[in-house]
Amino acid sequence: MSETTTDILVHTEAGVRTITFNRVDKKNSITQLMYGTMADALASAATDDAVRVVVIQGDATIFSAGNDIGDFLNRQDGQGLPQESPTFRFLHGIASFPKPLLAAVAGPAVGIGTTLLLHCDLVYAGDNAAFSMPFVNLGLCPEAASSLLLPQMLGYHRAAEALLLGEPFMAEAALEVGLVNRVLPPTEVNAYAQAQAKKLAAKPLSALIETKRLMKGGQQAAVKAQMAEEGASFGRMLTAPAAKEAFTAFMQKRKPDFSHC
């Protein structure tokens, strides 16, 4: 087990494990320690018969601002992001999780805050939800197999708009393209996701697991391969000049200058 943190809350009740982002003062930006805690929570849930469903949720005002930029700056050491890192343990955990996985999203969902949803079975959003994947704007490339899954879901041109421009799109647009199942008032999202999770937890677990396996079909191998390719590129780009300029500009609260990148 990895070291845990109160920035991620893990609670299990009546067959439902809830993983809650609990770093609202930092916009629920995700550190390596938080990734490790979530990866461990998913790994144990996958093998624990008492856990039948997992819900990932944030606050009514913010789901997640994505990766913690301070963590990225600390990696300007040429080492990039190894596959055995907590980040990739979490990514592989959500991609291979065998049981129903739900998400309740309100407020901004940035970067991994959006791409993790591609691996969830049901996603419920507040009408204040704003989804964005600004990887290019940070001198990086997509992750979580989003470069594979997003074009499949949105179509190539919509996916290109989302990934190349990195501009946010709102909950109704996400509903239209199938990224979310339902849009609700922000203060009702977490409770609604919990109610749906309880419905699932009352069903036969073997049937849920087999149905999910059949729906995923032969895609698992392709997702794993895409994650590995993205990961290699992401790790290399993480220590390159463009990313260094983007992160430094972010911390200095100025517009980045990519003219030499």
Write the pLDDT tens digit of every residue in 62-98.
Answer: 999 999 988 777 765 445 566 678 999 999 999 999 9
d(CA 216, CA 124): 20
Pair of tokens at residue 121: 């079975």
Span 239-252, mean pLDDT? Answer: 92
Q: Is the pLDDT of residue 253 over 80?
A: yes
* Amino acid 71: pLDDT: 79
pLDDT given for residue 2 in this prediction: 54
Instruction: Please tell me the distance from the alpha carbon of residue 43 to that of residue 48, in angstroms, as a whole number.
Output: 9
pLDDT at residue number 11: 98
> Which pLDDT score is estimated for 81?
61
pLDDT given for residue 78 in this prediction: 46
Q: Output the pTM of the full model.
A: 0.95
* Model pLDDT, residue 3: 66
Got the DSSP string for 114-155? Answer: HHGGGG-SEEEEETT-EEE--TGGGT----TTHHHHHHHHH-
pLDDT at residue 53, as a whole number: 98
Ordered by where they begin, the domains of the chain are 8-185+205-252 (3.90.226.10)
Measured between alpha carbons, how far is 34 from 30 in angstroms, rounded to an integer? 6
pLDDT score at 73 = 72
Rounded to whole angstroms, what are the CA distances from 95 to 117, 160, 237? Answer: 10, 22, 23
Residue 101 is inside which H or E element, if any?
strand 101-105
Q: What is the pLDDT of residue 183?
A: 98
Whether 110 shows a pLDDT value over 90: the answer reads yes
Average pLDDT score over residue span 39-49: 97
Q: How confident is the model at residue 20 (pLDDT cuts 50, 70, 90)?
A: very high
Per residue in 210-221, pLDDT tens?
999 999 988 999
Average pLDDT in the 194-209 region?
98
On whether the CB atoms of residues 154 and 183 are closer than 8 A, the answer is no
Q: Answer yes or no: are the C-beta atoms of 174 and 153 closer than 8 Å.
A: no
Mean pLDDT, the chain, integer: 94
Cα–Cα distances in Å, from 208 out to 101, 124, 179, 201?
Answer: 11, 19, 21, 9
pLDDT digits (tens, 9 = 90+) for 125-158: 999 999 999 999 999 999 999 999 999 999 999 9
Locus of tokens 């109610």: 195
